[in-house]
Structure 1
Amino acid sequence: MHTIKDKAKLLTRVRRIQGQAGALEKLLAEDQDCTAVLQQIAAIRGAVNGLMAAVIEGHLVDHLVEESDGDKRQQEAAVMLQVIKSYLK
């Protein structure tokens, strides 16, 4: 499974996002300039998008590209489409 195989990389990304969220909290608590707050929010969004892209890519490769069972591929494709639609809302 790709999330196990790439566990260290994914956890590094999650920890970076946690750090960015902590920095955002600090900016807000200290009444910092809105420009800094907006930049931090944009950085968090970019990091989350990168994490999502990495997990989607791994899932597509492991569960669709390399899957030989046609029925299983269709099920996985349906799941992926639902996740992507939900994420893009």
Structure 2
Amino acid sequence: MPHAPEDKRKALLRVRRIQGQTEALARALEAGEDCGPVLVQLAAIRGAVNGLMSEILQSHIREELGALPEADDRHAQLAQDMTTLVRTYLK
């Protein structure tokens, strides 16, 4: 869970966008839309959820590694490397 106010605000904005996307998906399904647009909407939702997961994981890594009493340049580099891996994996 992001604890920094800016990280929390970003996460909540992403969640609200995802809610809007899922509501649009529900409307499309109720209206009997063709499969193509529904699949595009599902892919957009998946991308948005992955983006949210990436942001929260990055925030967690920064908070946990930055909170170590012995935090130094090595920890900062490790945090950067881990966030790069997370971002790459979730694309």
Q: TM-score, normalised by structure 2?
A: 0.69
What residue in structure 1 maps to residue 10 of structure 2? Answer: 9
**Please, which runs of 5 or more residues in structure 1 have no aligned partner?**
70-83
* Greater percentage in helix: 1
1:25-64 deviation line (CA, Å, top 9, x unaligned)? 0000000010000000000000000000000001011102
What is the aligned-residue RMSD (CA, Å)?
2.2
What residue in structure 2 maps to residue 57 of structure 1? Answer: 58
Count of aligned positions: 71
Q: Which amino acid aligns with 2:35?
A: C
What residue in structure 2 maps to residue 22 of structure 1? Answer: 23
Query: Take 1:35 and 1:66, find their aligned partners in 2: how far apart are those partners?
Result: 46
Q: TM-score, normalised by structure 1?
A: 0.71
Aligned identity (percent) is 49
Runs of 4+ in 1 over 2 A off after TM superposition: none
Query: Take 1:29 and 1:54, find their aligned partners in 2: how far apart are those partners?
Result: 32
- Name the SS for the 2:69 alignment partner: coil
